[in-house]
Each structure stands twice: as C-alpha cells, then as structure tokens.
Structure 1
Amino acid sequence: MKHRKIIEKMSLEEKIALCSGKSFWETQEFPEYGIKSLFLADGPHGLRKQVGESDHLGLNASIATTCFPTASAVAATWDVELIREMGDAIGKEAVKEDINIVLGPGVNMKRNPLCGRNFEYFSEDPFLSGKIGSAWIKGVQSNGVGTSLKHFALNNQELKRMSTDVLVDERALMEYYLPAFEIAVKESEPTSVMCAYNKIEGTYCSDNKRLIWDILREEWGFDGAVITDWGAMNDRIEAFKAGLDLEMPGSKGRFDKEVKKAVENGLLDERYIDQAVDNLLTLIDRTTKGNKNAITEDLHNKNHQLARKVAAAGGVLLRNQNKILPLEKKSQITVIGELAKTPRYQGNGSSLVSPTKLSNLLDGISEYTETSKFASGYSLKDIENEDLIKEAVEIAKSSKTVVLCVGLTDIYESEGFDREHMGIPKNQAKLIEAVAEVNENIIVIIVGGSAIEMPWAEKVQAILHMQLSGQAGGLAAADLIFGNENPSGKLTETYPFRYEDVVSSTYFNKNPKQGAYFESMYCGYRYFETAKVPVRYPFGFGLSYTEFKYSNLQVKKSGLYDVEVTANVENVGEFDGAEVVQLYVAAATGGVYRPSKELKGFAKVQLEKGESKQVRFNLDKRSFAVYDQDKKDWIVEEGIYALQIGASIKNVRLEKHIELEGEKPVRKNCSTWYYSLSGIPSKKDFVTIYHNYEDYVPQVKGTYDMTSSIKEMKETSLICKIMYKAMEKIIAKNNGGKVDYTNPGFRMLMDSASDNPMKSMPLFSPDSMSLNVAEFFVEAANGHMIKGIKKLTKKNK
C-alpha cells in the first residue's frame, strides 16, 4: 500500500467513514492525517457545480460554466486532438471552480436508439468510443484534476435503470460492451471509474467482484478508485469485497455500523477497507494538483469560441441536393422553426449545464445576413397548431430559400426515461410536409442527441444535423451553412429508415427489470451491415462541400499480427476541408459468428484544396481477435482478412487482403440465427450462446422487497398509491405547479423518484424517508401492516 503510515494511524471507524461521501458532492476530510476533502461535479460536456441545494438530476441551479456540445456531437467530430483540447478546457474550468473530479465521460454503447441518455454517450462502436473517451480524459487530467469513467457497465436503458438485471453472453460482453472502457483505462488512466446502477446476471454493479476486481483491476491493471453512481450502492460489505472504494453521495453513516460489525465478526477482512482507503488517498493525491495561476481571466470567452469550433466540427451534412449549400453571404433567407429561436443545445438531467453565454440559430445567421422573415411554425410542446403552420406556409411561399429548424425536444429524450419512438414531434413533421409543398429550396437543421426517423428526407434539399451542439451551436450551424466552415462531421451511429428495422425493437424494454440481450454483439452497424438491412444513413457517413480521392493502399506485416496500413487522401474539390478516413477489418475465416466488418482505425485529415496527405494505421492482435470464453482469452482465427479504407462503412474506397496464422476456425455450435441474422432473435436462440434462465416474473402483493418501487407497488397497494399521488403533488409544486407528464422536468423527476428501488430512497431523501419508512411501505404493500408499523417505530437506521 502506498499510504500505509497514514492508514495505520486511522481507527476502523475513520477508515469506514472515509469510504462514504460527506455530502452530496464532497468526500470526507481528516485534517489530522492531512486528508483533504474532494469536490466532485457532473460534467461530460461542461461543469455542473452546485453550491446551494444539491441534486443528481440537474433540477437545482448550478454556477455558470461553458456548455460544450454533448457526447453525441463531440463524437461526430472524430477528432481526438480537438476532443483533447475540449477536455483540457473543461479541466481548466474545474481548477477555476475548485472541482477535483469531473464525472465523465460516459462510454456506454448505444445498444438501442430509444435509450433516453444516448445523447450523453459517444457511439454504437466501442473502438471509436474508447479512443474519444481517452482523448477527453487526457485533456481534463492534464490540469491536475480527475475524471470518472462511467457507467461501468451495461447501462443501456433508463427505464428501471436502478434495478434492471442485464443478461448478456460472454462474447458480447468482452467484444462489444467492455472494450470502450478497456481502451480508456489502458490509454488514459482515468483517476476513477463509476459503477452503474443496474445488475449484471443478478449481481448489482456495485457488488460485482468479477466486473470490478477481476476484469477492471486484475485484467486491465486499473489502479485508481472505483466509486458508485449516485445512490448505486447495494450491499456495502459485498462492495468492499468486490473492490469498490467510495459510496456517493454520503448516506449519513447508514452502512457504517454494519460494516464495522462485519469486520469485528470476521465476515469482512479489514484489509479490504484498508485497500479502499489507500485507493482514495491516491485519488486525493492525483486530483488536488490544479494550478489556479495557470487560469487566465478570458477563460470563458476562449472556451465559448472553442465550443463553437467543436460544434462546427461535429455538424454532419446528410443531404445537399444541387449543392444548395453553402449559401451565399448576404443572401435573403427565411427561417422557420421555434428551435431556431429557443435552442435545444444540451440534454436534460445530471449533465445539465448553466451556460456562460447562449447563442441561437438566428444569432448565428445574423452574423452573415439579415433574416428576411421568421415564423415559429410549431410550439415546443407537441400540440398541433394550424395557425402556426399556416403562417409558416405563407411566408415560405414567397421565399427563395427556407432554413427550417426541427428536432427532438426535452420531453422526447432525457435522462430518467427512454424515448417512445424514433420520430420527431408530430407537429414538426407536419410542418415539414406543409412547407415542402410550397417551397423547393428547404434546408433542414436538425437538433437532437440521438438517431431519428426521417421519412421526409427526400422532400428537402439539404439536411444538416447539429446534434446537441452546446451554447455556441447556433453560431456553428451558421458557420457551416454559409461556408465559413466546411462540414466534416460523420455519424457515429446508424440511422435506420424506421425503428422496426432495429434488431432489438420488438423486445427492448418489454421486460424492463430483466434485459436479455438476445442480439449478442449485433448492435448498430454490426447488425445492419451483417444482415444486409438497408439504412437511411450508415455509420461513418457525412458529406462535405469538397471531394476526396483515396489511393495507394499499402499493407506491411512486421510481426505475427502487427500490421501497418497506409493510404493517400487528396482533396480534389473546390474547398479546403477535412476528411475522416476509416479503416474496417472484415474477417473471412468461416469460423465463429462475428460482424461482417468492424471499425479498427480512423484519422481526421485536414486538407487544403489540391493537397494530399498519407494516413497511417497500426493494427495488432486485438484488431483481428475474438474472445474465446473456454480459454478466457483472445484468439485470432487463421484465414483471410480484408482491410478496407473508406469514407463510411458503406463507402469503401480501397481494399486489400491479408492472410493470418492462428487458431483453426471452428463454427460454433449454437442457434443458426447468429450466423444468418434472419428474422428476430428469441430466448430460444439466446440460451444457445448464454445458458438457460428463468424469466423475471413481475412482483405482486406478498413478494415485494426493497428492490421494489412505489410505482410498482401502487398497483396493488392503496397506501403506496396514496404515496405516489403525494409525490406527484410535491414534485409538481416545483415544476410548473401542476401534474404534467408533458413537462420534461416533472416527468424526469417523477419517473426517477417513483421508480427508485425502496433501498435507494433514503440516499436521495434522507430527511423525508429513512430506511425505516422505506421498509414500512414494503411491508404495508405486502399486506403486513402491523409488521410495517413495527419497522416504523424501531430506532431509525
């Protein structure tokens, strides 16, 4: 242990106390031992530091900091150097605001487009997510502050996120869901990793020894601290054994007595606590080195410009018929869409940032030309208003060019609940159809942090997807449409024609407390490409105002699996620009089932018109390997592998084949679905690659326990129904004054509070719901009122 001398001086009670937060955002301090308190704050795309009343869902005020684009937009840049620069900027703001640990980044996979928190994750691809996450971490931590890589692991839905049990086969876990974490841990050494809320195969992530100790620490060599997501602690004793160090937020000593008793009774070896303390002291050493003297007074102004640069680099041009873009400066245009005036520039929930400035699309356009006309066209609530549509249609009739801004509003995607479908609000879709009937020159600007259906795409001339582009997103969008910046963003997730084309669409969230991943690793392009399902926009797709020529693909082997790939890229168009060159590996070994191709390299190249550059990629064993669960190791099958260089997964420009030595290919004895991908996978298919299991049976009266929620128990319990109604009134009081499930703030908080497991309620509302009160509701819901009253009258826990 690094800090043995300090640990030996501390009492058992003090060591246990250090492993639980002092407050919502702070850790314990012990000045007598030189142990400082740390301040942690949300912030994958900007800092959310609360100095007053605290919460984990972005409801209460936070100090003003730069609101950069969210992860979905950041990833679309494919620019690791720019992302590192953004991380550095966030790190400097953390130093300025006395924040020691920035809670991010989130590198969970976008398994299904309806996950409400997809805007906060980078990609459907683990290689890309890992590389981007690594760059962000390096940037932040270069300032002497820390990060917390999250949510470890398999946090792929918001519904029942605190209690769902994820069932996943071993290969999907190791090849798809964990590599982004592995890359980030090995390449950037994050100071901490945050465990997820959910269970994996029946064990909560906070207690999961295999996840935290065996994989994270032993296999990957992680030597930082592991902390809980806020309220994710399940069993503190088992968590110590699993290698989890810090419980957040503070639970006011709720677990301390039972931990001490477990040590005294020999049920918990004190060495586990000593190790956790040692990890936390190392965390303090690594995250208290910020130098305020290096922070300049113009930091926020500089970061606003950087936010604009990142947003422009992440803008994805999806359509540009007849080269309608870029527009000429000073040209007369009409702007339609309330989102152009009232921007949605970030997601809802724990990552909500109070921006230092805020510019909308109208502000951006005003830097290049005067808007001749503006019409809102729709309300942000999805309520049809024929008068608004009529007004928009009338001004569109007489306009040469229409810039139409549409997208997802807060009620359509948010932390706390999942999306109901992949469409944009109906009133916006109706507006597009109406305007398209009277004007041929429509440029659509899309805002929103996840994939959407676009049945109207061919009725407009251009589509520019800005994602959720931060406080300067309106300026960046104008920079792109007027050609001051050349679009270079590429999609990091597939955009299907319709949600029904997504392989998991028929079973995602249908049994929300048991998420069986029937599709294995076939998510996103891994499914669409392998199953040959047509999509509207493929992974890696994005247009430019210029054109790029690829040539001279060279492949050199310097070892058994060490392969160098080079190619030339030339800008042969009329504009300076940047191209994202993508390298895919396609195995043709005939052995185990696997995706038809996978991303294994990428490079963003800046090229002046007429300029040519060489790109270089280095592949290793993992670039070709699959996970062998019998050997518990990575193996390469002997055979032919295609190396494909392209501008997207569909747009392959160059290809060469190499032959590799390795294990003899063996076709796995499992359901044929995993080879054919024909139809929809079922439990019958899944058990052939997993194992047989019991389906989760919804709890009923008499079977409720502390993992049940008020929302579940109200269906059969009058007292829980009364409690549910009381929660609605209390939450409504601070969110518009009425019960309104179309209010995103109300819905997020109501869903989060009412669907929390009872075991977690005291962590978030210790003053209004003690553990005794939570136990009372469970007993009462089970019909054991007297037993519940006894729990209630016991000494508070």
Structure 2
Amino acid sequence: MQTLPYLDPTLPIERRIDDALARMTTAEKIALIHAQSKFSSPGVKRLGIPELWMTDGPHGIRPEVLWDEWEQAGWTNDSCVAFPALTALAATWNSALSQAYGKALGEEARWRNKSVVLGPGVNIARTPLNGRNFEYMGEDPYLAARMVVPYIYGVQSNGVATSLKHFALNNHELNRHTTNVRVSDRALREIYLPAFEAAVREGKTWTVMGAYNLYRDQHLCHNQYLLNDVLKREWNYDGVVVSDWGGTHNTDEAVRHGLDLEFGTWTNGLYAGASNAYDSYYLARPYADAIAAGRYGTDELDDKVRRVLRLTYRTEMRTDRPRGAMCSEEHYAVARAVGNEAIVLLKNDKNILPLPADARNLLVVGENAIKMMTVGGGSSSLKAQREVLPLDGLRARFGADRVRFERGYVGDVTGEYNGVVTGQDLRDDRSPERLMADAVAAARQADYVLFVGGLNKSAGQDCEDSDRAGLALPYGQDALIAALAKANPRTIVLNISGNPVAMPWKNDVAAILQVWMLGSEAGHSMADVISGDANPSGKLPFTSYAALDQCGAHALGAYPGQKRADSEIWDVDYKEDIFVGYRWVDRQRLQPNFPFGHGLSYTTFAYGRLQLPQAKSVAVPTASAPLRVSVPIANTGTRAGQEVVQVYVRELRPKVDRPERELKAFRKVMLQPGERQILTFDLDETAFRYYDDKQQQWVVNAGEFEIQIGSSSRDIRTKAKIRLQ
C-alpha cells in the first residue's frame, strides 16, 4: 500500500507540508492555529496529524494541569528534576554544560510526551528589580547568546522544540501587559536583540514566544516590526510564533502581524458566550468569519499553518525521536554539576573557605536553609521529585552532629503554587527580636556561621508578575547578618537569589557566595563548594550593585515609566540607551559591590601577555579572516580549578558614544596546579561594530581599538592596541 506523501518520512518536510496543506479544509486550518486546552493545540484528527503539547518551563518540566485550568491535575507520576534556574546556568559561563543541561531537560520533556518546552528566556537584566531575572541569562547580550545556543541544541536533539522567550523588550514585570517600550534602534540592536538573533540564526529554535508588553504601540505577540520585519524576513525564521498565555488582543493584528499559534486568551476555557470557548479565540471563529466575509484571503492562514505543520514534523511526527528519560541519576548529576559551577565566590577573606575537613562546630542560620525553592515563582514552579535543602546538604557532608541550626528570621511560611504544595510547616512563633537574639547567642559559641538567606520565590521577590521594591534583603536579614558578623568574625553569607542584593554588610563578613536558585541538588552543590569538594568557578552574569541608583535605568528615573493620561498604557523610555549593567557603571566610574564577570577561586591564576598579530594595523576582520589573539594562563595555586578568561573590546577614539569595554569572547578552562595553557580567540567584525541608527546598519570604523583580557570586567590583566584599516 502506497504511503500518502504527507505521511511519508522519507520525503523532505517541505514536500510533506505541501501535500498536507492541500488536503486540509479551512476549518481544519483554523483549528490548527489556536489552543484546544490550557497547553495543547488539536492537530488534524482526520489526517492523523497529532496534537501539540506545550509545557513550562525553562529549568524543569511543569506538573500536569487540568484541561481548562491552571490547577494541578493530581497526577502522581509527573514529578521532575529541578535544574538550576537559567541565571545560574549563565553564571557557569560554560557552553558545553549548557548543552548538557538542555539535553537532560529535553529528555524529561520527551518522556512526558511534550512537543514544546516554553523556554529558554534571554531578556536582558536591565533592572535588578525585575522579578523574572532569575529565568533569564544576565545583563550582557554576548554572554546570553553564547549560553542560549547550546541549550537549544540540547533540548531539540530530543525532538522537542524550545520556545525562545519573551520576544522582546520584556525587561520588567510591573505593568507587564500595559508597558509600551520606547528604545533607540541602536540599543535594540546592540543590547536587546543579539541573544534572540543567535538563538534563531544559530540555535535554530523551532518556536518563539511573544512578550506581553508593547513596542511601537503594538503588543509584541502581534508586532509588525519585530515579528514580521525582523524575525521572519530579516532573520529568515521558518518556525512558529506562539503567543504568551493571554498575550493576544486583536484578530486583525494577530492575522497580519506575525502570530502563528494562539494560547491562553480565555484562561478558564469554560465559557465565553460560545459552546466551546476556544472557538472564541482571536485566531478562531472571528478569523474564519472574516475569511468567509472576504476581509482576508488565505495567504496569511496558509503561512501560519505551514509553520505549525513544520513544527509538528520536527517533533511529534519525527520517526527517529528518542524516548527520553525522567528523573534519572544522570539528570541529577547534570543538575549538581551546573550548581557546582554556577556558585560564585564573591569574597573570601584570609581564605576562610573552603572550611577545614575537621570543622566541627558549624552554625547554619536562615530560613532559606530549610525552605523549598522549587515551588513558586510563577509559571516555572515545579513539582520536584526531590530537593536537597542547604541544611541537609551541609549535614550530609560535615555530619549532623557538627551542624546546628537557628532560624534567625521568619519570611514566607507558605509553600503552594497552583495546587502543588511543599508540605513543609515553617511556622515559628518566636518574635523577630527573639529569633535574632537566639541566632546571635548561638553564633558566639560557633566556630563558623553560615548564613543562608536572600530572596525566595514569593511575590515581590524572584517571582513572575511582580517586581522587587528595592535592593535590600527582605524580612530584616540585613540587620541580622550585621549582628551575626559582630558576634562572630567567621560569618559566611550564602545569598540565594536570581538578582543582585545591596549587601550593606559586605565589609563585615568573612566570605560571600552568590548561590542562585539551584533546584533539586541545591544542598549538595552548596556543600560541595563550602567543603572544597568542588572549586568554585562561577562568574557573575550581571553587575552586583551597591545601591539602586548605580543602575542606569533607575539613576535616570526610567523605571517603571509614565502612565498615559486616560489610558492604561505605561510608556517607559530606555533613557540609558546602550549603557546597561557594566556599561553604565564603567561610564559613570561607579564602584559596585562586585563587577560583571567577577568570581574567585580556591586557587590562583596568572595571565601572561596578550599576543596580537605582528602588524600594528590590519584589515577589518571577518569570519573567514578573523583577528587572532592569544594569552597564556597558568594555575599558580595548589588546587585544580577553572578560570573564565574574558575578552573585552574598546574603541579608543569613537565617532559615536561607545562603552568603556564590551564582552566579545570568553572561554572556561580547567587547569591543574602548575599547568599552563595558551588560549586563542578569533575576533571577527562583530567584535568591533556598532549599530548606526541613521544608516540603519552595522558599522565598523577605521581606527584604534584596545583588546582587553581579564578575570572580570574590572579585573583586566593584559591589554594591547590594534589599528583597523
């Protein structure tokens, strides 16, 4: 029996799409481009084209929800491995580890029969108040680009699509549905689009999710310029644009301005004046009626259907799709490896860390040492099969009899999100004063104090749909840390957060670790680093500000924007333009708590002299003829360790305003004690260019540039000049 062309796996996908499209009715085409439930679209049952099933999230596979509701379905086999959040992944600066992370996550999605993982997110950390920064990859577009591409490779190797989000300019959560971003073309191209472009052009992501906010007064789930002009035409994107849930607002714009697949418009799914609420979606009956009335042809519809079919052939109808795996020990090992490399050693006075093997009298203080962090935070909330808490990880490593605990403060004792509950009882009836007094008294008797605090995933902290009120730690933690440090000079702070915090106690404590939301293996990773079983190698993917006005958006009063008179719309002007993160603090000569790219080790590294071509003047480099630079690096300490060697570029006499330095390359290298390697980096024209608003194109000026290589954006170890002809 001859196989129909659209079902023949030996034929090219585009040939199969042509055949399937020719067999479909208009009603079947319309059904294909909008949801049939909270997280699925229907396919074409008559033709045997299967459903597509979406799942949150970027760092773990969300538990099953009811057909038409956000609440959990009550399954007992939908637990997952919770991987470290994406800001932690970015802090590893390890692209190979990013691919391993993506592959493991994709295997979990595949085992659960998911077609699309709704992630990763690469929105730039413009403000440290953004409640969703923990889901993104930091403040630098180059770092985010290099980390997101291998993640996509890893996930999609399983026949599971990624959904790159949130495209674009979704840089804070406050008023997220009504914020209209006004930004220069230059900042858009240099800061906010590069990671998305790399994910599309290099990573080949199969879906892209629109953002809730507006740009040029159009919602970004149906935005002519970004979706049609840039994404689909300029970047030649052949995949599907998916709306964020509830992000569609208008049939005409959804039809004409780039949206392909609509989800979440009526989130209860039960009533909207029709027998089937999903028929009331903007790309459902209203679209079909408009076609029947002659207001639209079918060209736009056929393009949307082609894209959805292409996604289906790449995922559900791919015959060689792996089976996947769920909650395997290999996945837990990946989560632990990422956690170990993500932790950033910010400060280590007198090499107090790692703790000696015979350390016996350890005091752990802080609610985050005992609070589950996998539940909450918004759509990325998970039902983890297991979560090793920091206190448990430290006791397992050092011995339960050596590690005491004091609460110190009470923050959020709840533990529930959409029906997933932690089952923890974190209530404590002591007053804040009593809690602090008890912790300080215990600190005086301890050999070492490990304060485990920071943010949690409650509203107003690291959480979707809300932003932080400021940089200070909540629940009186800053005062508690200061009191502990006064009582015991061997106080070590482990800050769990996806954002910078103010750290007024920075000079009073002996050591500081930036720990992140590390997921299932959090406690083990913290214990590995504290004990020295793992040598910390993480680097900050953002600037750690000492005060909010060190951030350009806040210094210029450009957050959260200005509400229009007689309108729900908030206009926010990105007044800092290209000067985001370290670009701003460098320009203003500010001293943050810790700079972008900073991170210490338990060993030391020596950098040799930067080597450039012998010629002092060279042609503008290209991908095929790059500028090759090299630098020797040696491990001069007594432990094996990894260093992230960072390459920055500065134009010395620019014709337009340019940053003091911009990250243009990096590499993470493992060195044994006494080992020396020469690292080589190839820089093409993208390392030297800027975007010219007037010409609407990228420009490289002839002139002198400085290549800087160092251990952070403020720790430049070697530099040299080169002239471009």
TM-score of the aligned structures, taking structure 2 as reference length: 0.88
User: Which residue of structure 2 lines up, in the alignment, with residue 322 of structure 1?
Assistant: 350
CA distance, structure 1, for counterparts of residue 72 and residue 680 of structure 2:
43
What amino acid is the match of 1:452?
A: V
User: Which residue of structure 2 lines up, in the alignment, with residue 149 of structure 1?
Assistant: 164
User: Which residue of structure 2 lines up, in the alignment, with residue 587 of structure 1?
Assistant: 651
Give SS of 1:437's match: helix
Q: CA deviation at 1:616?
A: 2.2
User: Which residue of structure 2 lines up, in the alignment, with residue 342 of structure 1?
Assistant: 371
Q: CA deviation at 1:109?
A: 0.5
Q: Taking every aligned residue pair, what percent have the same amino acid on both sides?
A: 36
User: Which residue of structure 2 lines up, in the alignment, with residue 282 of structure 1?
Assistant: 310
C-alpha contact 2:111 2:323 (8 A) present in aligned 1: no
Residues 205-244 of structure 1 aligned to structure 2 (within 5 Å): 205-244=220-259
The verdict on how the C-alpha distance between 1:86 and 1:199 changes in structure 2, with shifts beyond 3 A counting, is same
What amino acid is the match of 1:536?
A: N
User: Which residue of structure 2 lines up, in the alignment, with residue 300 of structure 1?
Assistant: 328
CA RMSD of aligned residues (A): 2.1
Q: CA deviation at 1:409?
A: 2.4
Superposed CA deviations along residues 60-114 of structure 1, whole A, max 9, x for unmatched, are 9892111011011111000010110010001111111101110100000011110
Is residue 367 of structure 2 the alignment partner of residue 375 of structure 1?
no
User: Which residue of structure 2 lines up, in the alignment, with residue 745 of structure 1?
Assistant: none
Is residue 389 of structure 2 the alignment partner of residue 360 of structure 1?
yes
Give SS of 2:507's match: helix
User: Which residue of structure 2 lines up, in the alignment, with residue 628 of structure 1?
Assistant: 692
Residues 493-512 of structure 1 aligned to structure 2 (within 5 Å): 493-505=542-554, 506-511=557-562
What amino acid is the match of 2:603?
A: T
User: Which residue of structure 2 lines up, in the alignment, with residue 678 of structure 1?
Assistant: none
Is residue 680 of structure 2 the alignment partner of residue 616 of structure 1?
yes
Of 192, 195, 210, which aligns to 1:180?
195
Of 519, 544, 550, which aligns to 2:576?
519
User: Which residue of structure 2 lines up, in the alignment, with residue 679 of structure 1?
Assistant: none
CA distance, structure 1, for counterparts of residue 449 and residue 558 of structure 2:
40
Instruction: Name which of structure 1's ranges 521-530 and 608-617 shifts more when overlaid on structure 2.
Output: 608-617
User: Which residue of structure 2 lines up, in the alignment, with residue 533 of structure 1?
Assistant: 590
Of 404, 409, 414, which aligns to 2:456?
409
Superposed CA deviations along residues 263-308 of structure 1, whole A, max 9, x for unmatched, are 24443231110011001000001112386765467x5222112211
User: Which residue of structure 2 lines up, in the alignment, with residue 766 of structure 1?
Assistant: none
The verdict on how the C-alpha distance between 1:291 and 1:175 changes in structure 2, with shifts beyond 3 A counting, is same
CA distance, structure 2, for counterparts of residue 529 and residue 92 of structure 1:
42
What amino acid is the match of 1:508?
A: Y
Residues 45-194 of structure 1 aligned to structure 2 (within 5 Å): 45-52=59-66, 63-194=78-209
C-alpha contact 2:558 2:574 (8 A) present in aligned 1: no
List runs of 5+ in structure 1 lacking aligned partners. Answer: 662-797
Superposed CA deviations along residues 17-37 of structure 1, whole A, max 9, x for unmatched, are 211111111111212223110
CA distance, structure 2, for counterparts of residue 145 and residue 180 of structure 1:
20
User: Which residue of structure 2 lines up, in the alignment, with residue 765 of structure 1?
Assistant: none
Q: CA deviation at 1:351?
A: 0.6
CA distance, structure 1, for counterparts of residue 375 and residue 536 of structure 2:
21
The verdict on how the C-alpha distance between 1:510 and 1:226 changes in structure 2, with shifts beyond 3 A counting, is closer
Instruction: Name which of structure 1's ranges 537-546 and 609-618 shifts more when overlaid on structure 2.
Output: 609-618
Give SS of 1:23's match: coil
Is residue 261 of structure 2 the alignment partner of residue 246 of structure 1?
yes
User: Which residue of structure 2 lines up, in the alignment, with residue 443 of structure 1?
Assistant: 492
Q: CA deviation at 1:365?
A: 1.3
Give SS of 1:68's match: coil
C-alpha contact 1:589 1:637 (8 A) present in aligned 2: no
Is residue 510 of structure 2 the alignment partner of residue 453 of structure 1?
no
Superposed CA deviations along residues 532-581 of structure 1, whole A, max 9, x for unmatched, are 11111000000000001111422248853221222121111111000001
CA distance, structure 2, for counterparts of residue 384 and residue 631 of structure 1:
63
The verdict on how the C-alpha distance between 1:61 and 1:295 changes in structure 2, with shifts beyond 3 A counting, is closer
C-alpha contact 2:64 2:73 (8 A) present in aligned 1: no
What amino acid is the match of 1:582?
A: Q
Instruction: Name which of structure 1's ranges 424-433 and 439-448 shifts more when overlaid on structure 2.
Output: 424-433
C-alpha contact 1:346 1:468 (8 A) present in aligned 2: no
Of 556, 560, 563, which aligns to 2:620?
560
User: Which residue of structure 2 lines up, in the alignment, with residue 272 of structure 1?
Assistant: 300
User: Which residue of structure 2 lines up, in the alignment, with residue 424 of structure 1?
Assistant: 473
What amino acid is the match of 1:302?
A: E
C-alpha contact 2:107 2:325 (8 A) present in aligned 1: no
What amino acid is the match of 1:560?
A: V
C-alpha contact 1:69 1:346 (8 A) present in aligned 2: no
Of 643, 654, 657, which aligns to 2:721?
657
Q: CA deviation at 1:261?
A: 3.3
CA distance, structure 2, for counterparts of residue 402 and residue 136 of structure 1:
37
Give SS of 1:416's match: coil
What amino acid is the match of 2:635?
A: N
User: Which residue of structure 1 lines up, in the alignment, with residue 420 of structure 2?
Assistant: none
C-alpha contact 2:497 2:516 (8 A) present in aligned 1: yes
CA distance, structure 2, for counterparts of residue 160 and residue 295 of structure 1:
39
What amino acid is the match of 1:240?
A: V
The verdict on how the C-alpha distance between 1:384 and 1:541 changes in structure 2, with shifts beyond 3 A counting, is farther
Of 40, 49, 58, which aligns to 2:54?
40
What amino acid is the match of 1:157?
A: H
C-alpha contact 1:165 1:200 (8 A) present in aligned 2: yes
The verdict on how the C-alpha distance between 1:290 and 1:105 changes in structure 2, with shifts beyond 3 A counting, is farther
CA distance, structure 1, for counterparts of residue 305 and residue 335 of structure 2:
38
Q: CA deviation at 1:239?
A: 2.1
C-alpha contact 2:83 2:335 (8 A) present in aligned 1: yes
CA distance, structure 2, for counterparts of residue 57 and residue 155 of structure 1:
26
The verdict on how the C-alpha distance between 1:137 and 1:602 changes in structure 2, with shifts beyond 3 A counting, is same
C-alpha contact 1:453 1:497 (8 A) present in aligned 2: yes
TM-score of the aligned structures, taking structure 1 as reference length: 0.80
The verdict on how the C-alpha distance between 1:655 and 1:58 changes in structure 2, with shifts beyond 3 A counting, is farther
C-alpha contact 1:329 1:368 (8 A) present in aligned 2: no
What amino acid is the match of 1:374?
A: F
Instruction: Name which of structure 1's ranges 368-377 and 13-22 shifts more when overlaid on structure 2.
Output: 368-377
Q: CA deviation at 1:615?
A: 1.9
Q: CA deviation at 1:525?
A: 0.6
User: Which residue of structure 1 lines up, in the alignment, with residue 604 of structure 2?
Assistant: 547
C-alpha contact 1:346 1:469 (8 A) present in aligned 2: no
What amino acid is the match of 1:226?
A: V
CA distance, structure 1, for counterparts of residue 121 and residue 582 of structure 2:
20
User: Which residue of structure 2 lines up, in the alignment, with residue 569 of structure 1?
Assistant: 633
C-alpha contact 1:237 1:268 (8 A) present in aligned 2: no
CA distance, structure 2, for counterparts of residue 89 and residue 152 of structure 1:
25
Instruction: Name which of structure 1's ranges 133-142 and 338-347 shifts more when overlaid on structure 2.
Output: 338-347
Residues 689-700 of structure 1 aligned to structure 2 (within 5 Å): none
CA distance, structure 1, for counterparts of residue 21 and residue 561 of structure 2:
48
Give SS of 1:313's match: helix
User: Which residue of structure 2 lines up, in the alignment, with residue 387 of structure 1?
Assistant: 434
Q: CA deviation at 1:657?
A: 1.1
User: Which residue of structure 2 lines up, in the alignment, with residue 396 of structure 1?
Assistant: 443
User: Which residue of structure 2 lines up, in the alignment, with residue 7 of structure 1?
Assistant: 21
Give SS of 1:647's match: strand
CA distance, structure 1, for counterparts of residue 379 and residue 84 of structure 2:
15
Is residue 31 of structure 2 the alignment partner of residue 17 of structure 1?
yes
C-alpha contact 1:70 1:346 (8 A) present in aligned 2: no
C-alpha contact 2:375 2:383 (8 A) present in aligned 1: no
Give SS of 1:380's match: coil
CA distance, structure 2, for counterparts of residue 619 and residue 58 of structure 1:
49
What amino acid is the match of 1:86?
A: Y
Instruction: Name which of structure 1's ranges 282-291 and 595-604 shifts more when overlaid on structure 2.
Output: 282-291
Superposed CA deviations along residues 293-335 of structure 1, whole A, max 9, x for unmatched, are 65467x5222112211111100000110010000112411111
